[in-house]
């Protein structure tokens, strides 16, 4: 149970990084590699990158303890979490086809972690 919670926590950290990347890049003019490099050093994107480094460290710890074939499907929960976050934080409209896909992902994660 501890490892499942750590996998889920890792997923939440990954999602948080993605949301911060979105916030940090919204409204920015990104036309070339230099614009991307400059963006790395803005506070929000820099924090997201640091968060991703921590998430990677946690992921390495998780993989040292359990099979990747068990841990990795849990990471797929990032998709539904990001969908909800994008709907509430960014007021994005979510089409029915995406909701159907999210249902399949959740069912797949449930099945793959019960075996």
- Read off the pLDDT of residues 37-69 as tens digits, 9 standing for 90 and up: 999 999 999 999 999 999 999 999 999 999 999
Q: What is the model's pTM? A: 0.87
pLDDT digits (tens, 9 = 90+) for 76-107: 999 999 999 999 999 999 999 999 999 999 99
Residue-wise DSSP of 75-109:
HTTHHHHHHHHHHHHS-----HHHHHHHHHHHHHH
Cα separation, 29 vs 35, whole angstroms: 7
Res 69: pLDDT? 92
Q: Where are the domains of the chain?
A: 2-114
């Amino acid at each position: 149970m501890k490892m499942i919670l750590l996998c889920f926590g890792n997923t939440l950290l990954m999602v948080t990084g993605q949301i911060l990347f979105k916030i940090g890049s919204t409204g920015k003019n990104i036309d070339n590699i230099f614009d991307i490099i400059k963006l790395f050093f803005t506070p929000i994107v820099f924090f997201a990158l640091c968060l991703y480094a921590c998430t990677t460290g946690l992921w390495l710890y998780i993989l040292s303890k359990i099979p990747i074939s068990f841990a990795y499907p849990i990471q797929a929960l990032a998709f539904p979490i990001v969908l909800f976050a994008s709907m509430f934080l960014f007021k994005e409209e979510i089409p029915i086809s995406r909701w159907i896909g999210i249902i399949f992902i959740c069912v797949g994660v449930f099945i793959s972690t019960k075996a």
